[in-house]
Amino acid sequence: MFTVKNGPFTETAADAVLVGLFDKPLKFEGVLEPLDQAFSGNLTELVKNGDVSAKKGEAAIVPTLGYLQAKRLVFAGLGKDKETDFHVIHEAVTKAAKLAEKSGLESIAVILDSFVTENVTAVEAAEAVFEAWFLAQFHYTGYRTPGNEPEKLLTSVLVFTESDPAEVKAACKVGQTMAMGTNTARRLTATPSNMMTASDLADHAQELAGRYKFEIEVLEREDMEKIGMGAFLAVAQGSVAPPKMITLKYKPHEDWENVLTFVGKGITFDTGGYSIKSKEGIVGMKTDMGGAAAVLGAMEIIGELQPDQPVMAVIAATDNVISANAFKPDDVITSLSGKTIEIKNTDAEGRLVLADAVTYAKQQRAGKIIDVATLTGGVIIALGKDKTGAITNNEPFFEQVLEASRESGEMIWQLPLTEHDKKRIRSSDVADLNNSPGRDGHAIMGGGFIGEFAEDTPWVHLDIAGSAEMSPGVMTRTLAILALSEVESE
């Protein structure tokens, strides 16, 4: 798809040419001087008239009117060059791509050096441009009857730069891959629950395993019964759909110790069980497998980019429904770890399936664990929808996760887990743990419950209940970036 050239961009016949503009004040000079010359200075007039702006986040599309072989120019405003970074480029290109989408582009050319500053290299700019562009192109059309208009897809990308073509092309692929893995997570999350069951998630994992040579294991109900996965099975026991505990292993070499592990909550629909949700709250619960989707999206990126460190994914997939067989408040269940749990709230089911998933991951030699889950409404009350809540038992590991989130632009915010909180989680008269010890500090209670099963293994909990609603596919890129970096052992 990508062709990188060191040559004159004015001769391309692409459907559109993407240009980054800095506000300094805006002049078509340097790399963009040939563009203005081709237009006999008329681009400068467009700027003076306000038709084109270099202000941060502004975008414009103009026809070339025969001045160039390309049909259109798409401008992305970047603001002051000294203030421009990866995220500024990302935001600007997202806006520009959304605007250009209406034109049904099949080919684009990018003047990459128009995005380069003292702070941003051509390689960084390439990754930002194409991650943003392909993220912006995602649409979930679902099951609508298709119209008569043929869908136009982007099939050709020309990149013009004075930098090393091989390095730039590799960066273009990284940006596209990050976007496509995130878009996979978005698609999985958006699919209706009757078409995205635990079996469907297992099928998707199987397809990834075949494509990227991952090792895969899918535990069935009878397998879980044999090993005593009682917390997960309690949630699953009300459903006629078979539960699946899915494990993917990426092994770039023989060493399989201290493995970086992603654990995803895969509740394909959550009624709340006997602690049933309201009629308003139950709508949209097909997205309660957003954590599993993020993990699968990250594994797709890992399969494409082949990092050097081993990575494992563990996904607990089932639905949480009401039936004569469903678990009930006041039940006591025994988890895979042997710890017993008093059920106070059947709508606090995510922490139960993750408890057994974390324990199972440790049995499979997980050395560092990140669980990702649409876990609590409480995290939205505490942090809003633009931030992912985090809890950890290991500050150095958390700092590595935090750095990956800064690179991805997916904001996380650490919540405290105190000894007082732990006492509340253990406040049961009949069992070791209480799955719902009250509404106050609810996000901390949910995450801290999972921490009881992580124990001393370095662990970070990411509650995406709000951030996944605002940005479906959230944490996919953060997980992938962490896997692509060298995670240090503690």
Catalytic (active-site) positions = 277, 351
Beta strand 215-219 with 244-250 is antiparallel
Q: How far apart are CA 256 and CA 259, in angstroms?
A: 6
Q: How far apart are CA 183 and CA 186, in angstroms?
A: 5
Exposure pattern of 193-231 as b/e (b: 16+ CB <10 Å)? beebbbebbbebbeebbeeeebebebbebeebeeeebbb
User: What amino acid occupies position 377?
Assistant: G
Q: How far apart are CA 305 and CA 294, in angstroms?
A: 17
Among 25, 53, 20, which residue's Cα sits nearest to residue 124?
20
Strand partners, 313: 248, 262
> 435, 415 in Cβ contact below 8 A?
no
Q: How far apart are CA 230 and CA 332, in angstroms?
A: 10
Q: How far apart are CA 158 and CA 68, in angstroms?
A: 15
DSSP state of 145: P
